[in-house]
Structure 1
Amino acid sequence: MTKIPDVSGPVRPVRVASHWIAAACAALLAGCGGDGDDGSAALPQLAAATGAPLGACADLASTFSFANTTITSAAPLAAGTLTVAGSPVGAHCQVRGEMYRRTSPQDGNGYAIGFEMRLPNSWNGRFFYQANGGLDGSVGTALGAIGGSAPNFSNALNMGFAVISSDAGHDTAGPAFGIDAQARLDYGYNAAVKLTPMAKALIASAYGKGPDRSYFGGCSNGGRHTLLATTRLPEQYDGFLAGAPGYRLPLAATANVFSAKQLLLVPGTTVDDLSTAFPTAERAMVSSAILAKCDALDGATDGIVQDVAACQKAFDFTRDVPTCSGARDGTCLSADQKTALAPIFSGATDSTGKKFYASLAYDAGISGTSFATWKFGASKNLDTGAIATVWGVPPISQTGFVGSDYLTSTSVDTMLAAIAATDSTYLESALSFMQPVDPSNLSTLKNRGAKVMVYHGVSDPIFMHDDTVTWYENLRSANNGNASDFARFYAVPGMGHCAGGPATDQFDMLTPLVNWVEKGQAPDSVIATARGLPTAAGAANVDIPTSWAPGRTRPLCPYPQVARLKAGATDLESASSFSCQ
C-alpha cells in the first residue's frame, strides 16, 4: 500500500497497480533491468528533457481551463523586465491565478491557493516547483532557488525551467490562518498536491507538451515542503532539492521556545531582551574555543570545522569554554550561563528529561547573525504563534495574543501535547500534516530513477543539522546501509539557517541534480563560494572573517565524507586544495 494524498484533503490509501510500474519503466532511457556494481538491481536512468517554444502567452488567460482554477492574468514580460541581484531575467510569460476558492466554516474568512507561474520563452522542457519558506502566506516571485545563498549564480527560471510559486493556501502574513482546518492541511502538504497537476497541465497548454522532467525545491520550510513531497508526491517529481529541511518543524519550533526558556534562566535576562543571556562577544568567544579544539581536525587551520562528527566528540562545553571567576567580561561564561546554555546544545527535553528534538552542533557559526535572529527573536515572535494557532489543537486565537506572554506562561509539555492533538474539527495533528509520511521510505522515487539532494548549515540554530543527519542515517539503514545511489546529504560547515555564517554559502545544487537525474552523473562534491565584499545588490555575507580571501571556495562533500586538505597543498582559499574523504 502506498499513501497518495487526496487533492481535497486528508491522505487516503491507494493501491499502486503493476501496469503503472511497467509504464513508468517504458518511459526510461535505460529501462528497469540491469545490476549494480554490488550485485543489486541497478536503478533506472531517466531520459533527458527536451525543450519547446512558448506559444501565445496572453491567450492562456482565456484558453486554459482546469478544475477549481481561475487564471486572473497572463502577460508576456520582455528580457530584463525582472532583475535578480542586478542580473536580467530572460523573456517569459507571467501567469497568475488561484485554486479552490472557498469560505472557511471556522473563521468565516475567504481562502484560496494563490499562485504564479513563470514560463520562459526558451523552455528547456523542465518544471520546477518553488517551495517557499516561513508560514508562507504570499506568492513569492517564481524564480526557483538553485541552492544556498546564490543571488549571483542564476535561478531555475533563467536556466529555462517553468517555475511555480504559491502562498500555500492563505494570503495573509502570520499564523491566524491556522484557525481554518483546511488551510492547515494546505499549508502542511495539500497545496503542492493540488497545484502539481494544474501546473503540468498549464505547461502543456503553453508549450504543446508537458514537462519531461519535474523538480521540487526550497529551503527552510521550503525544505520541509520538499521532503514531504518525497513521500507524498514521489511519482510526480524526478529531482528533489531540500535545503535546511525542517521536516519536524513543530518540534523544532517547540525546541526553539525551550531554548528561550533556558536563556531566561541566566540571571539578568528578561523576555524583552534574550540576547543578554548570550551576547555577541560571548558567542564569538565560544566560537573561538570550538575552532581551537576542532579547526585542525580536517588537516587545515582555516576557520572552518569540516570534520563535524569528530568535533562533537572532541569539544566539551563545560571543559573547553572558560568559566568566569568574577564578572562576565566576554572572555568567559559564568557557571549559571553554562548550566542554562548546555541543554540548548545537547537538545530540548520535556519535563521528564526526555529529549524531543535534535542537538545543536558545536560549530564556528554560533557567532553569526543567524543565531541571534532565531534564538533571540523568532523564539518568541514566530514560533509561539505557530505553535499556538497553526499547529495546536484547539488553536488559540491571535486576537490579543502576545508571543512573549505565551512563552513565559505555557510549559513545553503543554505545547508538545497541543501539536500532537486532534479533535472533531482538526482531524490531523501537526505531527501528521507537517511531516513526511514515512521519511526513511523513499522506495517509490528511488525505484523510478528519481534523485534527492539535501544541504544543511551545520550552524543552523532553528532546524538542526543533527536532525538531518539522523534522517539520512535512517535512510541509509532502510537501504542496506547505503542510500548514495539516489539520495545525498551535504553539510555546509559554518553556515546558519539557509545562508550566512562564516561559511562558503553560495552554491548551485540544481545543475548537479539535473545531471544526476538525466545523465547519471552522481554529484561527488559541489563547489561552494564565500560571499566577500558588498555588491550593488547587497549580497555580502557580514559573517565572513576579514582574514578570508574574497571568493574562497570549498568542496561540499556528500555525508559522511569530509573535505580534507590534500597532502602538500598550501592554498587554503581554493577548493582544489581539498578532497572529499
Structure 2
Amino acid sequence: MRLITFTTVSLLLAASAAGNAAFQQRCSNLSSSFSAANTDIILADYVAKGTNITFPEPGNNCPKFTISLADMCRLRLNVTTSSTSSVIVEVFMPENWGSKGKRFLMTGNGGLGGCIQYNDMTYGTLLGFAVVGHDNGHAGDNGLPFLNKPQVVKDFAWRALYKAGKIGKKAINHFYPSSIRKSYYMGCSTGGRQGMKAAQEFPEEYDGIVAAAPSLDWNGVMAAPGHIFKAVGLPGSPTHLNLDQWNKVHQMVIRQCDGIDGVLDNVLEDPMKCEPRPEELLCGPGQTWASDQCLTSAQVAAVRKVYSPIYGNGGRLVHPRLNPLTREFFGYRASYGGVPSYIAEGWYRYAVFNDSNWSLHANFSLDAVDYDYQKDLFGIGTNKTDLTDAKNKGTRILMYHGLTDGLVTSENSYRYYEDVSRDMGLPSSQLDEFYRFFPISGLDHCYTGDGAWFVGGSVQYSPAGALDIDPSDSVLMTMVKWVEQGIAPETLMGRKLIGGTVQGARAHCKHPLKTTYKGVGDPNLPSSWDCGAA
C-alpha cells in the first residue's frame, strides 16, 4: 500500500499549480502564437471555474452573461467571410481536455441566429469538450442585418457554421499538445437545422450530429406563423383568441386525446393520433365566453385552421399542422397569440424582400410563400433528403423533437425522416445504422414541458436543477457512446424536471416504434413503458 505523506501531497499540489500556470500562460500566448487567414484575435483569456463572464455588447437582444463551469481558455475571434460580412467565433478550451477524450463540440444558434449559445458552450466544457460557438454572421436575434446584405444571409444559411468549425478546430489543435480525436455537433431549432445542413452538405466535419427540433424546410417553417397569424388575426378581430381561451383549447385537447396512450398525465405519446374537435367549445344560442367559457363560430374555425395542414398555390403542402397541444410558453408568443412572429416577419422583410415596410399583417400571402421557395436563399431550405455522404463518411445523426412544440411542429421532423427513408430506399432498420429519430413526448420547443422533457440537450441546462442531473445518459453523451463505443441508442432517457426537481422519467423510443404504457405500474417510472410497434 502506498503511503501518502504531507510531502507527497505538497508535491502534487505544486505540480498542479505549475500545470495550471503553464496552461494560463499558453492561453495568453494565443494572442501572438495563433494566426489564421482572414481572422483577427479579439481576446485570449484564462477563465477560472465559477467566473461570471459578461458580454456587454450594446444593441442586441442576446444573453449578457454566463458562468464558467470549468477552468478554461477563452479565445474570441472575428472571421471575415466576404467584403461585407464577418463572423464572431468563440472557442472555450477546458484545462482537462486531454483526459476527457479530446473531443470537439460545435454548438448551434436559435431564431434568426445572431446569439451565441453560451450555456451550451459552458455545459460542453463541464464534460471536457473543447467547444465552439458563433454569432452566425450578425449580432442579435433579428433580421435587420440581412437588409441588402446577401453575404450576411449566406453566413446565416450555412457559411458561418462551416467557417467557425474550421477555424475553431484549427485553434484547438494549435492550443493543445495533441489533436482532436472526435468531433460533435449539438443544436436546437435553427441550431437543429444547422446540424442537418452539416449532415447534408459537409458531414465529414462531424462524427456525431445531435439535431433537435430542426427547422427543416425553412421556407415552410417561415410560412407557418404567417398563415397562423392571418388565421387568428389581431386582438379584437372576430377570429382572435386570448390566452385564457387558448388555455381552454389546451384543456379540450387533453380531454379528447390524453387517454389515447392509456395514461391520463397531460401528455400525448402519439399526437399524430389526436384529431381535436374544437366544435366541442362552440357557444350555443345566447351563450358567451364571459358567461359560459365557450367560443364563437369564427374562433372555432380559426382553431381548426391552426390544427390543419397548410396548403399553398396549386395545392402543394407547405407545412404540416401545429402540434395539437398548445402551451403558452412558445406557441402563444410566436405563433397564435395575435402578434406577428418576429422571426418570420424579419426573414421575409429583410432577407427575402429587402423592404423595411413589409409586414405579415399587410403583405403575407401564398404568393409571398412561393417567392421565398423560389429564391431559397443559399439553400436555406435544408431539404436535401439524400444523406448518402453522411452514411458513407460514418457520421451518426440523432434527431429529436418535442411533441408539444408550439413553434416548429414535430410533424415536420416525421415528414423529413420518411422522405429520407423513401429517397434513399432504406427502411428504418437500415437507416438505424447512421440516422435515428426520437420523438419526445411532453417537450415543448427545445426545452420545458409537461412531460419527461429533459434529455440533456441544447439550451436545456438553464432551468433550475438541470446541472444536478447525471449527464451520463444525456443526448450528447448518448451520441458519444454511439460514435466511440458503437452502442447505438434504442431509447433516449427523458426526465420530468419541474421546479428544480425530477418528478419522473421516461425512456423515449426511436421512431417508428412507440413509447407504450404496459398497462400496469407507476407511469412516472421508465419500467412501466416499453417500445411497441406503430
Same fold by TM-score greater than 0.5? yes
Map of 1:51-450 to 2, 5 A cutoff?
Answer: 56-82=26-52, 89-100=69-80, 103-104=83-84, 111-123=85-97, 124-141=101-118, 143-144=120-121, 155-178=123-146, 179-264=148-233, 268-269=236-237, 277-311=240-274, 315-318=275-278, 321-325=280-284, 326-329=287-290, 331-350=293-312, 354-363=316-325, 366-375=326-335, 376=337, 379-390=340-351, 392=352, 394-396=353-355, 398=356, 401=357, 406-422=359-375, 429-430=376-377, 432-436=378-382, 438=384, 440-450=385-395
- 1:476 corresponds to which residue? 421
**In the TM superposition, what is the alpha-carbon distance from 1:172 to its structure 2 partner?**
4.8
Q: Distance in 2 between matches of 1:223 and 1:489?
A: 12
RMSD in angstroms over aligned alpha carbons?
2.6
Is residue 188–residue 212 contact of structure 2 (8 Å, CA) maintained in 1? yes
Q: Which amino acid aligns with 2:344?
A: D
**Contact 1:528/1:554 (8 A) holds in 2:** yes
Q: Deviations over 1:43-86 (max 9, x none)?
A: xxxxxxxxxx9681111111112111112211111222258999
Which of residues 490, 513, 523 in structure 2 aligns to 1:572? 523
- Structure 1 pair 389–520 and aligned structure 2 pair: CA distance change class (3 A): same
Question: TM-score under structure 2 normalisation?
Answer: 0.82
User: What is the one-letter code of the residue matched to 1:484?
Assistant: D
Q: Distance in 1 between matches of 2:507 and 2:451?
A: 12
Indicate how the Cα distance of structure 1 residues 131 and 347 shifts in structure 2: closer, same or farther if over 3 A, else same.
same
Distance 1:456 1:97 in 2: 32
> Using the alignment, how far apart are the partners of 1:358 and 1:567 within structure 2?
32
Number of aligned residue pairs: give it: 471
One-letter identity of the residue aligned with 2:263: A
Provide, for residues 534-567 of structure 1, a one-character-per-residue CA deviation record: whole Å limited to 9, x for no partner: x5xxxx9xxxxxxxxx522122221122222224
- Using the TM superposition, give the Cα deviation of residue 531 of structure 1 relative to its aligned residue in structure 2, in angstroms: 2.2
Aligned 1:550-569 pairs, distance under 5 A: 551-569=503-521
- Give deviations 1:122-141, integer Å, cap 9, x for gaps: 11311111111122224442
**Does the CA contact (< 8 Å) of 1:118 and 1:142 recur in 2?**
no
Quote the residue 2:458 is aligned against.
Answer: none
Whether 1:519 aligns to 2:456 is: no
CA distance, structure 2, for counterparts of residue 174 and residue 87 of structure 1: 25
- Compared CA separation, residues 519 and 141, structure 1 to 2 (3 A): same
Alpha-carbon distance change, 566 to 88 in structure 1, aligned in 2, over 3 angstroms: farther
Q: 1:568 to 1:413 in 2, by over 3 A?
A: closer
* Structure of higher RCO (CA pairs closer than 8 Å, 6+ residues apart): 1
8 Å contact kept, 1:254–1:387: no
- Indicate conservation of the 8 Å contact 1:230/1:445, yes or no: yes
Contact 1:494 1:503 in 2 (8 A): yes
Q: Which moved more, 1:490-499 or 1:284-293?
A: 284-293
Question: Please, which runs of 5 or more residues in structure 1 have no aligned partner?
Answer: 1-52, 105-110, 145-153, 271-275, 423-428, 541-549
By how many angstroms is 1:378 displaced? 6.2
In the alignment, is the contact (CA less than 8 A) between 2:89 and 2:135 conserved in 1?
yes
Deviations 1:429-464 (A, max 9, x none): 33x4312261x2112222232211111111222211
Hey, what's the Cα distance between the residues in 2 that align with 1:380 and 1:138?
18
Equivalent residue, structure 2, for 1:148: none
Distance 1:209 1:71 in 2: 22
Q: What is the CA-CA distance between 1:243 and the residue it aligns to?
A: 1.0
Name the CA shift for 1:497/1:190 in 2 (closer, same or farther; >3 Å). Answer: same
| Bigger mean CA offset, 193-202 vs 159-168 | 193-202
The separation in 2 between residues aligned to 1:210 and 1:278, in whole angstroms, is: 56
Is the helix fraction higher in 1 or 2?
Answer: 2
* Contact 2:229/2:339 (8 A) holds in 1: no
Matching residue's letter, 1:237: Y
- For the 8 Å contact 1:125–1:161, the answer to whether it is kept is yes
Judge conservation of contact 2:200–2:386 (CA < 8 Å) in 1: yes
